[in-house]
Structure 1
Amino acid sequence: MKQFGVLVISHGSRSREWVRLVDEAVADVRLPEGVPVFSSFLEIVEGRLIQDGIVTLEAQGVTDIIVIPLFVSSGSTHIDEISYALGVIPEPSLPTDMERFAIRARIHFASPIDDDPTIAEVVYRNIEPLSEDPAREIVVLIGHGSAEKGFHQRWKMGLERLAERIRELGGFAAGDIAMLLPNQVPDVMQRWQERKPDGTVIVAPLFLSEGYFTSEVIPERLEGFRYRYNGKALLPDPLISRWMERQLAVFWEK
């Protein structure tokens, strides 16, 4: 008989606030009675790493672990190496120091955020206070990105679809994207400044939690351009917990 358990994996941070926001979102996930959940991290958070989560769940009798990768893009190289280490794929696409985990339970791997409509709603709610005249506004969605072949394309596809969802939600004149890696921000901002000099660019960061990238890196890349920005990340927002519930529902129904 199957005994399900849930393992949420996010990147990890030295910031206690970052970890707290993730843990609160995981704790708010509504699960069937008797299904344990463990909030784990790729690195940094001692005692809360992926192997710690596997051991803890298996000790509770879990035979089937549903893994939720709490990352914003399937283009993240971390998704690739985690998939390999969990035995979901036979080999990683890129070299990795990550070794295979010790696992007895069966692994069921869910999807990262990508262009999920629930996440589009979160981003739109974050930037809505910045909007005054949507018909004259351009939303530029900024994500971390990747310069690696294949991974870059996955980032691009997910960001573009998400930007279009946000554009439709707000009735904006246009939606565009820019990655930090490679640095596309100056070129994108310059293009809209020339194409719509009377328009207003609203910058929307696609990051799980506020921190170094939202407060320092993005403003630095935007220096010299006109824009509106409040630096709001996906967390805290109850819709992130609802997104995780939808990811899990696919497996309950099997």
Structure 2
Amino acid sequence: MQALVIVAHGSHLNPDSSTPTYRHADTVCETDAFDEVVTGFWKEQPHFREVLRTVESDEVYVVPLFVSEGYFTEEVIPRELRVDDDVGLDDPNPGWEPRSGTPDDVDKTVHYCGPVGTHDAMSDVIVQRAESVTGDADLSDGVGLAVVGHGTERNENSAKAIEYHADRISERGEFDEVEALFMDEEPEVDDVTDFFSSPDIVVVPLFIADGYHTQEDIPEDMGLTDDYRTGWETPATVDGHRIWYSGAVGTEDLMADVILERAAEAGADIGDAVETVRDLTGGTKPLADD
């Protein structure tokens, strides 16, 4: 038997933080690729430390629903799962190699996978998110894309996933222009219109769930609204550009595809589950296959 465990941060303050995690788990369940699909959290129940005891399967694939490599994916999660030997990598990019271990207190082989945010398939999800918010499957004419991350000068890895996906999508010619922008480092999303000549700009935040940053900070910073509590129009006109703001990319249904891809890299037998997810979610053709 094989089980999939999707681990995410969760929140004591925002009840919607875990909603995408549950929804993606439900989507994976529909594929019948795993005997069990469960979720675990840092700030909700079941906790990272207990989640392995909630499954019966002897082969467990753990996929972190996080944007980038860093403190949680390289230290906290492997420590709490008791598979922390030689888990971290020096090169935080989609080349992350899965690690396997057998915790002393559970009779299971645990395969620890890389985070979803650095996988190549996340580029597809970003494009799908842009198409979802605009309702247009052809965004190559007069449309720019801003991939937005949190960013921080304290951790250079925070920006790498954002820049990686922006570069991949740019190389494909999916949009007239593609830029990686950030909340807490340069170039900043506050000045989004300064970086584009395209009349239309789709802004996709590379966040797992909607919360304070995606629903309050970013809309106000971009000038979509003076007060997030009053909402904003989509699209909204700012400095002569139409801004299409999508909200967190992690809420896109195609995220289930990336979760499956990460598990498959670690050796999970997923059959045709990826194709099933793309049929269920209307997913685009993988960029890597072009």
- Give the RMSD, CA atoms, in angstroms: 3.2
- Going from structure 1 to structure 2, the CA distance change for 1:90 and 1:170 (only over 3 Å counts) comes to closer
Give 1:11's aligned residue: 9
Task: State the one-letter code of the partner of 2:41.
Answer: F
- Report the Cα offset of residue 168 of structure 1: 4.9
Question: Partners of 2:176 and 2:164 in 1: how far apart?
Answer: 16
1:155 to 150, 155, 158: 158
Question: Partners of 2:258 and 2:139 in 1: how far apart?
Answer: 30
Count residues with an aligned counterpart. Answer: 231
Percent sequence identity over aligned pairs: 19
Matches within 5 A, 1:54-65: 54-57=52-55, 60=56, 62-65=57-60
Contact kept, 8 Å, 1:121 with 1:169, in 2: the verdict is no
Question: Partners of 1:212 and 1:22 in 2: how far apart?
Answer: 17
Structure 1 position 164 matched with structure 2 position 167: yes
1:67 to 62, 70, 75: 62
Give 2:234's aligned residue: none
Give 1:97's aligned residue: none
Contact kept, 8 Å, 1:119 with 1:240, in 2: the verdict is yes
Structure 1 position 24 matched with structure 2 position 23: yes
Structure 1 unpaired stretches of 5+: 94-100
Give 1:112's aligned residue: 115
Question: Partners of 2:48 and 2:118 in 1: how far apart?
Answer: 25
- Report the Cα offset of residue 235 of structure 1: 4.4
- Going from structure 1 to structure 2, the CA distance change for 1:147 and 1:187 (only over 3 Å counts) comes to same
- Going from structure 1 to structure 2, the CA distance change for 1:205 and 1:216 (only over 3 Å counts) comes to same
Question: Partners of 2:251 and 2:189 in 1: how far apart?
Answer: 29
Give 1:229's aligned residue: 244
Contact kept, 8 Å, 1:116 with 1:162, in 2: the verdict is no
What TM-score comes out, normalization by structure 1 length? 0.74
- Going from structure 1 to structure 2, the CA distance change for 1:107 and 1:181 (only over 3 Å counts) comes to farther
Contact kept, 8 Å, 2:130 with 2:246, in 1: the verdict is no
Matches within 5 A, 1:1-254: 3-13=1-11, 14-29=13-28, 30-32=31-33, 35-43=35-43, 45=44, 47-57=45-55, 60=56, 62-74=57-69, 76-81=70-75, 82-86=77-81, 87-89=83-85, 103-104=105-106, 105-128=108-131, 129=134, 134-148=140-154, 151-152=155-156, 154-168=157-171, 171-182=174-185, 184-185=187-188, 189=192, 191-192=194-195, 196=197, 199-223=199-223, 226=239, 228-250=243-265, 251-252=267-268
Question: Partners of 2:17 and 2:37 in 1: how far apart?
Answer: 19
Secondary structure of the structure 2 residue equivalent to 1:204: strand
The one-character-per-residue Cα deviations of 1:31-56 (angstroms, maximum 9, x if unpaired) are 446x322201111x2x3211231221
Question: Partners of 1:122 and 1:27 in 2: how far apart?
Answer: 18
- Report the Cα offset of residue 79 of structure 1: 1.1
Question: Partners of 1:115 and 1:10 in 2: how far apart?
Answer: 15
- Going from structure 1 to structure 2, the CA distance change for 1:147 and 1:83 (only over 3 Å counts) comes to farther
Q: Which runs of 4 or more aligned residues in structure 1 lie more than 6 Å from their structure 2 counterparts after TM superposition?
A: 130-133
